[in-house]
Amino acid sequence: MTAEEKPLILIADPEPRTLDMIFEPDDLRRLHALGEVIVHADGSRLAAADLEAALASAKVVIGQVDLPAERLSRMPNLRGVINVEGNFLPNVDYDHCFAHGIHVLVTSPVFATSVAETALGMALDLSREITATHEAFRDGSEKWGLASNAGSFLLTGAKVGIVGLGDLGTALRRMLVPFHCEVRVYDPWQPERRILEQNCIPSGLDELLSASRVVFLFASSTSENQGFIGARELALMPKGAVLLLMSRAGIVDFPALEEALRSGHIRAGIDVFPVEPLSADAPLRKLDGVILSSHRSGGMRESFLEIGRLVLADTELLLRGLPPQICKRAERETVARMRSKPVEVS
């Protein structure tokens, strides 16, 4: 095979990721071994004509470059587009891709482990009042012994609800196995069978909220579910229950959540907010029964380096003429409903 015949892998507009952030040196070497790699990224921009030429030859595109139908129609070799930001963005003509057998992929599964760890850590913390006790130590007001555990409960054997059994929910479910919880799942995009396979109970949302002492929110933000966890839903939760908001702020009615915390009805761990950073004078900062986290559950250096490994695995399959197996595929039926805002800063 001559150099010209090597398949072209184009990295285009990977921002907010940088190559350093997502590829370990060895993984980058392995990518180069798969084909000719051309980079169009901050610090290494192609001229417009060169970019178009590269697009016209590319077999795999890695990054968030605009791919309207007109451009795609000039890309006859294209087999796959791999988004490394994490959300399916509207700058790709998905219909064209579906019609022409071009896989559009995201590497979002890389965040599952990290988010699930944080969610479990916060759940244990809130159910056992670890942070609250520690805060009491700071001002000398802590209680000792049995009295200190009056509001605590064991996660082991507790009834748990998971809203959204995608990558994140599945990762968390696995971490719950040793705790022998009864786990209810609400996920309208999943068939009952998938839920049962993970040893969970398919459930309606209201039933889940009423029955569970710990509820994990992992649902994507879609055109249909804005603010679907509101005052009515929070009121269904048992007193003292624990809510973990890990995915998207848009799915929760924040004023209602704040009120449920202020009244002491529930406790919550919150990693995402309607406006980030959270304003300095937000009342949430002073409430009891809450653990605040600055949209940091997923963004570990280790998770970002996983992106490169997923890209590598599926690029290899695509170039061998096989279907991708590792990244998450855009699906014709659901991609248009996704509503997550892209991340601006890694």
Binders in 298-317 for a second copy, by CB under 8 A: 299-302, 304, 309-310, 313-314, 316-317
Least CB distance from residue 328 to a second copy, whole Å?
A: 12
Sheet with 103-106: strands ordered across: 36-40, 8-12, 60-62, 80-83, 103-106, 328-329
Pairing verdict, β 8-12 and 214-217: unpaired
Provide the mask over 62-101, with x wherever binding to a second copy is found by CB under 8 A and - wherever it is not: ------------------------------------xxxx
Provide the mask over 250-279, with x wherever binding to a second copy is found by CB under 8 A and - wherever it is not: --------------------------xxx-
Stretch that binds a second copy, among 34-42, 66-74, 225-233, 292-300 (CB under 8 A): 292-300
Stretch that binds a second copy, among 66-74, 142-150, 229-237, 240-248 (CB under 8 A): 142-150
Q: Take residue 242 and report the two structure tokens written for it.
A: 């624990």
Cβ atoms of 327 and 106 within 8 Å: the answer is yes
- The C-alpha atoms of residue 12 and residue 26 are separated, in whole angstroms, by 20
Size of the site for a second copy (CB under 8 A): 79
Provide the mask over 147-166, with x wherever binding to a second copy is found by CB under 8 A and - wherever it is not: -xx--xxxxx----------
- The C-alpha atoms of residue 240 and residue 152 are separated, in whole angstroms, by 9
Closest-CA residue to 249 (of 290, 277, 208)? 277
- Residue number, 69 or 177, with CB nearest to a second copy: 177
The amino acid at 292: L
Q: Does 295 bind a second copy (CB under 8 A)?
A: yes
Helix (H, G, I), strand (E, B) or coil at 169: helix
- Residue number, 48 or 239, with CB nearest to a second copy: 239
Helix (H, G, I), strand (E, B) or coil at 63: coil
Q: What are the angstrom distances between the C-alpha of 177 and each of 117, 181, 191, 230?
A: 13, 7, 21, 29
- The C-alpha atoms of residue 101 and residue 84 are separated, in whole angstroms, by 20
Among the listed residues 39, 53, 292, 319, the single contact to a second copy using CB under 8 A: 292
Least CB distance from residue 306 to a second copy, whole Å?
A: 10
Least CB distance from residue 8 to a second copy, whole Å?
A: 19
Residue 290: partners with Cβ closer than 8 Å, 6 or more residues away: 261, 267, 268, 269, 270, 284
- Residue number, 51 or 313, with CB nearest to a second copy: 313
Q: Take residue 262 and report the two structure tokens written for it.
A: 């202020």
Least CB distance from residue 237 to a second copy, whole Å?
A: 20
Provide the mask over 323-342, with x wherever binding to a second copy is found by CB under 8 A and - wherever it is not: x-xx----xxxx--------
Residues 173-192 contacting a second copy, CB under 8 A: 174-175, 177-179, 189-192
Q: Does 33 bind a second copy (CB under 8 A)?
A: no
- The C-alpha atoms of residue 20 and residue 134 are separated, in whole angstroms, by 38
Q: Does 120 bind a second copy (CB under 8 A)?
A: yes
